[in-house]
Amino acid sequence: MHPSARLLVWLLAVVAIQSLDGRFLWLLVPVIPLFGRAALRRCGQLVARSRWLLASLWLILAWGVPGEAIWDAPLSPSREGVFDASVQLARIALLLFSVAVLRQTMALPELMTGIHRLLGSLRPLGLNPDRGVVRLLLVLEYLDQAPRPAVWHELIDMPESSAGEVFELRDPPFSNADRLTIALVFACLGVLAWFGRGYA
């Protein structure tokens, strides 16, 4: 499959994840182990890095959404808040898992090729896809290779890399299978939206 087609399918999957409610989210749990231990390990690393953000989001929603109190106390969270917070965290966890699967199944050159093709459609709006891809590449390489500092000010003292690198993008043409896959994903999103409206 063309890298941009795979990336577009991933973007559509992200949209689908955000539209799922708690009942449909549980149906995806048995599918997660099928992607392998490497994807699960990478997802665990992403969740660990985001643990304080996830915890803060859960607390804000659990105590900020009005509803029936869980226990009889002035500072009790609401049942609706706990449910909404848990659903939102499940969506974010699935989103992080999809990012882990994408990074695990797509090599960096393929990922950059897909992004370059998708951003190329925005060139008439004044966006330069070449610069965007190069900057994103530098960020991803830094996140993958840079050691984790013990304290934040060590990031300022890290030496800059002066080694010149050459990065080549190979952009194969779209195939009929790519177009069919994207059409099927759009159809699945339509069915999901229809079912979601029916359950609303």
Contacts 24+ apart (CB under 8 A), 91-96: 91/17, 91/18, 91/20, 91/25, 92/50, 92/54, 92/57, 93/43, 93/47, 94/17, 94/25, 94/28, 95/14, 95/17, 95/18, 96/43, 96/46, 96/47, 96/50
Measuring CA to CA, how many Å separate 171 from each of 15, 55, 80, 117? 26, 41, 48, 8
What percentage of residues in the chain have a pLDDT greater than 70? Answer: 77
What pLDDT does residue 162 have?
45
- 155-184, pLDDT tens digit by residue? 555 555 545 556 666 767 777 787 787 788
**How far is residue 102 CA from its own chain's centroid?**
8
**How far is residue 26's CA from residue 38's CA, in Å, rounded to a whole number?**
22
Q: Does the pTM of the predicted model rise above 0.75?
A: no
- 32-83, pLDDT tens digit by residue? 888 888 888 888 888 888 889 899 999 998 888 888 888 887 788 888 888 8
Q: Tokens in use for 147?
A: 């050691």
- 82-139, pLDDT tens digit by residue? 888 888 888 888 888 888 888 888 887 788 888 877 777 777 777 777 777 777 777 7
**Ranges of H-type helices in 65-165:** 79-105, 108-120, 129-145, 154-157
Instruction: State the average pLDDT for the chain.
Output: 76
